[in-house]
Structure 1
């Protein structure tokens, strides 16, 4: 081995020992005839001191940042300890020095974080173009090392629980799962295509049919959809499935798994069990099916109080949602919040200030006749501002829910910590206005609630699903359901979705055939690992926790992908490119 220790491992217990180290020169300093090197590897850095009488002194003077070197030296106590460094009580007196590789000056600094200083902001495109340098920065290395610890914790826990890791294909059949597929041409027969999997959904269900009972996989998934901060065309999820279980079994196991992950990776103890909210209650109280519970500001339904209001928007609305902002808001703040409400489908944002003995401003005169019951219903007190949105129930709740989030940001209301919850009792189906038909809320293999089976054809919108989402700090980090294991019920589900028998056979025939050979009751979940890790590291984007991500346009500045291919390759695949004007 070229080294006996990692740089960040050295401490006073190594004093007097001879060590071999290898890594990057984080910084070189010439002080009073001495040369000081900060030598860095992924564990941290340690100071190396080179005295003038050393035969390697001139070589040390030649070193520059990011050069790769190997040193031999003796560990000694530092005269002036550096409390910002883990190794700040010791240094290494150089005995030998070997330059392993010289380096050009990086296009952006990578050294500051290792010295305990704040890292400078660098444009994302430049970071992605030189990702191998960006990954040298301390924060990025810590992010990826945490990713490793999280995945190891998942493996350890699930292995002890009797789960079997099984890999599923990357080249598979295109089936409708909610997003566009990435297609791969089949060279041997032009016109045929594989699809990259949006998830291992059907394969993990067939593993349950095969009798594996408990499956998991750290799965790569591919979806050709517009990108956001929490989306990538290729992403990673923890995928797991269990046979002979009810909803409670899946939730309880995942709570214990998440608690184990946080304990092992962050040293944090999570209180169990996680709270649970039915889907409709979550929308009703927080305006979201993934509510952030780190602050209050609950929505209240005040429509019945305003049925006789002189304000037509209140009088005629299906729902009027209200919340009390905990201080008087300025006109500028109210205008910004109204823009938020409008962006999310509301016609506007009504408001009134609460004062001792009355209401003022905005729509106060329309609310004054019901002031007492309104203040009781909303909990609003003098010095606060009432905010109201009227409209169809879902739209009013969702729009005011977005105002709630913007208000928490404005007022700094979010508390530190980890607010987990389960959202349960989702609708099985939702109406698709473009298609003018019913579509699935999760996927077409979700099992309906047994009490609602009689409504599947008569009133599809009222059918509840045995589905659940795991939410952390207002972000969905996991979702799953019990699955349909009865071929007859699966066929009914397809019929309600407008998928006829021929289309069923064409797209799902292999899966329906599998169900016909004796499928156990089963269910599972998938965690969005990238999203979870972004939250655990406090990162604004999942790109911060992925080694080699794409940019916001789905392109890779490092490799230049996607890129053109030769005409010969296209001819071999039987393809022709049609360029849009």
Structure 2
């Protein structure tokens, strides 16, 4: 530490230093004049300390947010001025000398202590000031601690950290690439990796047993509250001679470990093994493949039953229902109906179970008397229950039911408090048919192993084939996706053929994997939990930008440094690019 500017950082000063002359440094957070005696709240990265100034001349030229070095005597505060909110709250430093190290030349765009209340575009433009705010800074310090723990944990589990290239070949992997023009090879381009997918599989083919990295990923996608535009980081890992269960165990150990260590005190964290839901089961029970298990409500499938009834709007439709045991006012029902119409439903049918066991609601008269007991048993109805109905084509009925489950859970305050509830969702469809073109394409990761292998690809309806793909979901947020990889060349050729890529395209776009799989590739599997989302959940933040040091705004702009920006004509010429109007 340079003794020229400071001898100690502020959190190192304690009552043991009373009577010592010390030099400290930091930023002027606040200046208070108490008539004859003035005070500065001095802040460094670690703590805040009160500086007392009895010589008014020392305050000349001092203003907020200057970087200063102060030398003085450590004193005990008067007991009635103790500040229990800060570690240095029982001591103060009487300034004998103040040196301005970094001056402030113009008005601050906002008060540092309340920067989180400022408009986001202003915060991001002056992010270096926003980061001086303790809560903002603490998120970044917290992020560093989590990443350090993840590295330590993965190494402990026998994984080797290996960095994969940032400049790579463009490949059709689902999202839109960021492309980088080549100066040396006219008309050719690199791409920034959407994920280290091919490289980590090639590492397995190279004989490395367990790989991981804190991987930067680049996707030209629009922002959401839980997704940063442009770039994000994930804990990417892959294992040789491994199947789905092997990956599940590592995922559980690492995520349970990090959440148990870093979640707020008193939080409940799912213990391994995590519950596992197939994609089909998740869509039925929760109406989404990202279920929030803090919500106790489950969706019922009453399709078959209502085909025996006379309610015309349900006939020939998929019918889903949600049973709720709660007091609901007329105005609450009105708000629910409004929500239902806003998400595209034609209405919202319901029944209430009265004290005498009879039903009240517009659908009651359409259920024949002889079927009412069967209905009660199927829906597991009790006195005081209300059951809501959603009917449409299967996908839309699932969507509506999922949205209504979330709305009811939140509005009735049913969600479990202070809990992180994990689950796996697996058995995703390998292929899907495009609604417009009717052509078959990959549903998710094209590098997944299809269940049933080559035989399934050659004989089954592609839309019926499931993949060894899985997600980890926590509190309704997808934290990770992964898969058992396809390491068999013949299976790979056939899978891509079904999705419309012939062997020549496969060689051209995924040539490295195509050739590597001809030289004894081992079975391998992995996943990649998202670090930004993980930290967002742990910190209880609603917006992912709060846990990233220098985030872009929602329009993928760096307001602080001015990216994306224009480049010179010379730079364009060097990479053989001409900008079209």
Q: TM-score higher than 0.5 here?
A: yes
**Please, which of 237, 252, 256 is the counterpart of residue 253 of structure 2?**
256
Deviations 1:462-490 (A, max 9, x none): 22222211111110001101101111111
- 1:54-203 paired onto structure 2 within 5 Å: 57-60=56-59, 62-79=61-78, 80-103=81-104, 104-112=106-114, 121-203=117-199
| Distance change (3 Å), C-alpha of 1:184 and 1:333 | farther
**Is the Cα contact below 8 Å between 1:345 and 1:395 reproduced in 2?**
no
Q: Secondary structure at the match of 1:146?
A: helix
Counterpart CA distance in 2 for 1:381 and 1:362 is 18
Counterpart CA distance in 2 for 1:186 and 1:568 is 14
Alignment correspondent of 1:413: 414
| Distance change (3 Å), C-alpha of 1:417 and 1:81 | same
How far apart are 1:123 and its partner, in Å? Answer: 0.8
**Please, which of 224, 244, 247 is the counterpart of residue 244 of structure 2?**
247
**Is the Cα contact below 8 Å between 1:153 and 1:265 reproduced in 2?**
no
Q: Secondary structure at the match of 2:236?
A: strand
Alignment correspondent of 1:356: 355
| Distance change (3 Å), C-alpha of 1:441 and 1:342 | farther
- 1:341-380 paired onto structure 2 within 5 Å: 341=340, 346-357=345-356, 358-367=358-367, 369=369, 370-380=371-381
Counterpart CA distance in 1 for 2:255 and 2:384 is 41
Counterpart CA distance in 1 for 2:372 and 2:280 is 27
Deviations 1:486-541 (A, max 9, x none): 11111111112121122112212222001111111111111111111111111111
Alignment correspondent of 1:544: 546
**Is the Cα contact below 8 Å between 1:453 and 1:463 reproduced in 2?**
no
Q: Secondary structure at the match of 1:295?
A: coil
How far apart are 1:166 and its partner, in Å? Answer: 1.4
Is the counterpart of residue 287 in structure 1 residue 284 in structure 2? no
Q: Secondary structure at the match of 1:404?
A: helix
Counterpart CA distance in 1 for 2:544 and 2:458 is 38
407-416 vs 489-498, greater mean Cα deviation: 407-416
155-164 vs 327-336, greater mean Cα deviation: 327-336
| Distance change (3 Å), C-alpha of 1:14 and 1:305 | farther
Deviations 1:150-195 (A, max 9, x none): 1100111112222221111122111110011111112233321111
**Please, which of 211, 214, 235 is the counterpart of residue 232 of structure 2?**
235
- 1:126-525 paired onto structure 2 within 5 Å: 126-231=122-227, 232-266=229-263, 270=269, 271-317=271-317, 319-330=318-329, 333-334=332-333, 336-338=335-337, 340-341=339-340, 346-357=345-356, 358-367=358-367, 369=369, 370-414=371-415, 415-450=417-452, 453-454=455-456, 457-525=459-527
**Is the Cα contact below 8 Å between 1:23 and 1:70 reproduced in 2?**
yes
Q: Secondary structure at the match of 1:553?
A: coil
Counterpart CA distance in 1 for 2:377 and 2:111 is 57
How far apart are 1:273 and its partner, in Å? Answer: 2.5
| Distance change (3 Å), C-alpha of 1:303 and 1:75 | same
How far apart are 1:458 and its partner, in Å? Answer: 2.0
Instruction: Report the count of equivalent residues.
Output: 568
**Please, which of 9, 20, 24 is the counterpart of residue 6 of structure 1?**
9
Alignment correspondent of 2:23: 20
Unaligned runs of 5+ in 2: none
| Distance change (3 Å), C-alpha of 1:33 and 1:379 | farther
Q: Secondary structure at the match of 2:123?
A: helix
Deviations 1:228-260 (A, max 9, x none): 122221111111111111211111112111233
25-34 vs 566-575, greater mean Cα deviation: 566-575
RMSD: 2.3
Q: Which structure is higher in RCO with an 8 Å CA cutoff and minimum separation 6?
A: 2
Counterpart CA distance in 2 for 1:368 and 1:21 is 83
TM norm structure 1: 0.92
Counterpart CA distance in 2 for 1:241 and 1:15 is 55
Deviations 1:125-147 (A, max 9, x none): 11111111111111110110111
| Distance change (3 Å), C-alpha of 1:155 and 1:93 | same
547-556 vs 257-266, greater mean Cα deviation: 257-266
Q: Secondary structure at the match of 1:24?
A: strand
Counterpart CA distance in 2 for 1:461 and 1:137 is 52
Counterpart CA distance in 2 for 1:274 and 1:15 is 53
Counterpart CA distance in 2 for 1:372 and 1:407 is 26
Alignment correspondent of 2:33: 30
| Distance change (3 Å), C-alpha of 1:340 and 1:440 | farther
How far apart are 1:19 and its partner, in Å? Answer: 2.9
Deviations 1:188-231 (A, max 9, x none): 33321111111110010001111111111111111112221222
Alignment correspondent of 2:556: 554
Q: Secondary structure at the match of 1:97?
A: strand
Alignment correspondent of 1:116: none
Q: Secondary structure at the match of 1:527?
A: coil
**Is the Cα contact below 8 Å between 1:65 and 1:105 reproduced in 2?**
no
| Distance change (3 Å), C-alpha of 1:442 and 1:456 | farther
Counterpart CA distance in 1 for 2:254 and 2:216 is 20
How far apart are 1:380 and its partner, in Å? Answer: 4.3
Counterpart CA distance in 2 for 1:61 and 1:456 is 83
| Distance change (3 Å), C-alpha of 1:457 and 1:233 | farther
Counterpart CA distance in 1 for 2:496 and 2:116 is 54
| Distance change (3 Å), C-alpha of 1:240 and 1:282 | same
TM norm structure 2: 0.92
**Is the Cα contact below 8 Å between 1:18 and 1:75 reproduced in 2?**
yes
305-314 vs 198-207, greater mean Cα deviation: 305-314
Counterpart CA distance in 1 for 2:535 and 2:38 is 40
